Chains A and B, each alone.
Chain A
Amino acid sequence: MQGLEMLQETPSQTAGPYVHIGCIPTFAGVNGVYPQDLGLSPIEDGAKGEIITITGQVIDGTGWALRDAMMESWQADAAGIYPGQPGADPAVTGFCRFAADNESGEYTLRTVKPGITQARSGAPQAPHIAVWIVARGINIGLNTRIYFEDEDNSADPLLKRIEQRPRVQTLIAKRTAPGQYSFNFVLQGENETVFLDI
């Protein structure tokens, strides 16, 4: 039989407790190597749309908030156009790195609220931010999404695929004030976040 001539992906390994040194060294107190950390903000001055702030924690199976998690986010601009695509807002880089606070475990993501994007099938995807979580004890990065409770999520192709309907709520940020949302990532246990294999 012939071979398929396909390679296999390199196995993942945990990012470990010191991921900040490699990805956000200034946050980790390693100063002077780079001018600034990569992905400090997903937007620049003048980004079109509603500026929002999402805060929350990454919670383990015992209910404890991780102090060492690092997250990355990727999103479209307010018109639903991803950076690099024709017509994208030049003030939106779409990519952010943010970490749990060393003391409180709280994270903050300040960005522009993304617009509706289009799935391959042509179906509209409700506004969402893709998030990737890495930390000590996470052997392969966890993918998930943040949706918004004040948007119409009813036709979103990903949310529709969640069989146990109460679990949909684990992907939806709660609006706590104008422009303010809260969203916890629950790694395990009750209200465990829906994690994705995409």
Chain B
Amino acid sequence: MRNAPTDLGSLIPRNRAIHPVPYDPDYKTSVPRSPRWPLLSLDSSVTEETGPTFGHNMLGPYDNNLIANFSQGERLAIGERIRVHGRVLDETARPVANTLIEVWQANAGGRYRHVRDSYFAPLDPNFGGCGRTMTDEDGYYEFMTIRPGAYPWPNRANDWRPMHIHFSVFGSGFGHRLITQMYFQGDPLIDLCPIAATVKTRSQLDRLVAPLDMARSKPMDYLAYKFDIVLRGRRQTMFENKMEGM
């Protein structure tokens, strides 16, 4: 038995020129982990045009608050309190509504709660390092966290990650999946980071740098940073669904 696809519109091909290069000798782990053969390029199918959907009812009351979620509101994490907010749009400037955003980050000292992180900055007993939220009908999202610390990592002899928050975004089809990182305005480590430098066009890297947003901060409470995200768009033309040659 076959099923006719529910037509959501095919995906606009990815513009790989704006993305990081897969192979970059300055980011050493990318050398053995980047494919050598060209990708096979194809029009999207129902496989990529559909994808998992999640409901707001999945979210717990503390999911969007990394300051409080590790203790379910009992105790607060150490660090500079910040609110991160922004909007998720697609390439055709339509808001991406009700899509799941997951974030993870180091604590204020630059340490992750992970078996593979052996940096001697201490764990914060009240910080887990993950959170999630969903966009609203207009594509807006926000969450509370502490500003993550910079941290050293084994690559070249003295490489440090700039302060950053990892973002995972779903979109409306499996072909939309995106993982990226948000950096902070004014961090001098951005220019020294070989991972940031995998994005070869400076203006594209700048799109990953969140500006301080004093208008959304709260006096005596938290600062705010704005991070907008764009996902792939879908072709939607009146000719899209007609037979070839018609």
- Report if A and B associate in a common complex: yes
Question: Hey, which bits of chain A sit against chain B, CB under 8 A?
Answer: 5-23, 25, 28-30, 32-35, 38-39, 60-62, 64, 66, 68, 72, 74, 76, 79-87, 93-95, 102, 115-120, 124-125, 128, 130, 132, 134-143, 145, 157-158, 161-162, 167, 187-189, 192-198
- Asked whether B40 lies within 8 Å of A161 as measured between CB atoms, the reply is yes
Also in contact, A32 and B128, with CB within 8 A (given A118-B5, A187-B35, A196-B39): yes
CB distance from B122 to the nearest CB of A (A): 16
Determine which of B19, B52, B208 lies in contact with A140 in the assembled complex, contact meaning CB atoms within 8 Å.
B19
Enumerate chain B residues within 8 angstroms of A33, measured Cβ to Cβ: 62-63, 69-70, 128, 130-131
B positions within 8 Å CB-CB of A: 1-6, 10-11, 13-16, 18-22, 24, 27-37, 39-48, 50-54, 60, 62-63, 69-72, 89-93, 102-104, 112-117, 128-132, 166, 168, 174-175, 177-181, 195-196, 198-199, 204-205, 207-208, 229-233
Considering the chains assembled together, what is the distance between the CA atoms of A62 and B90 in angstroms? Answer: 38
Partner of A11, one of B39, B62, B102, B204: B204
What are some 29 contacts across the A-B interface (CB < 8 A)? A7-B91, A18-B117, A19-B104, A19-B166, A20-B114, A21-B104, A22-B168, A28-B114, A61-B36, A72-B174, A74-B47, A83-B52, A84-B50, A117-B5, A117-B47, A118-B2, A119-B45, A120-B43, A125-B46, A136-B33, A137-B33, A140-B16, A140-B20, A157-B45, A158-B42, A192-B35, A196-B39, A198-B42, A198-B43
Say yes or no: B47 contacts A137, CB within 8 Å.
no
Closest to A116 in B: B2
Let me know if B166 and A22 touch, CB within 8 A: yes
The 3 closest A-B CB pairs, nearest first, are: A22-B104, A137-B29, A95-B52
Does B20 contact A74, Cβ atoms closer than 8 Å?
Answer: no
Shortest B124–chain A CB gap in Å is: 12
| B196 neighbours in A (Cβ, 8 Å) | 13
B18 touches A61 (CB 8 A): no
B40–A196 CB distance below 8 A: yes
Say how far A158's CB is from chain B's closest CB, in angstroms. 6
Question: Are B50 and A197 interface neighbours, CB within 8 A?
Answer: no
User: What chain B residues lie within 8 Å of A94 (beta carbons)?
Assistant: 52
Give bound CA distance, A197 to B47, whole Å: 13
Q: How far is the CB of B123 from chain A (nearest CB, A)?
A: 11
With a CB–CB cut-off of 8 A, which chain A residues contact B179? 12-15, 19, 134, 141
6 new A-B contacts at CB < 8 Å, known A25-B130, A196-B40: A22-B104, A74-B52, A120-B5, A120-B46, A130-B47, A193-B35
The reply to whether B6 and A86 contact each other, CB–CB distance below 8 Å, is yes
What distance in Å separates the Cβ of A33 from its nearest Cβ neighbour in chain B?
Answer: 5
Q: Is the interface of B mostly helix, strand, loop or mixed?
A: loop
Interface centre among B5, B19, B31, B104 (most CB of A within 10 A): B104
**Chain B residues in 8 Å Cβ range of A84:** 6, 50, 53
Question: Contacts of B14 on A, CB cut-off 8 Å?
Answer: 9, 197
Known: A11-B208, A130-B47. A197 touches B195 (CB 8 A): no
Give complex CA distance A35, B16 in Å: 37
In whole Å, how far is B95's beta carbon from the nearest beta carbon of chain A?
A: 12
Q: Is the CB of B29 within 8 A of A22?
A: no
* Residues of chain A within 8 A of B53, CB atoms compared: 84
Contact A158 B63, CB 8 Å, known A9-B230, A28-B115 = no
Q: For B207, what are the chain A residues with a Cβ–Cβ distance below 8 Å?
A: 8, 10-11
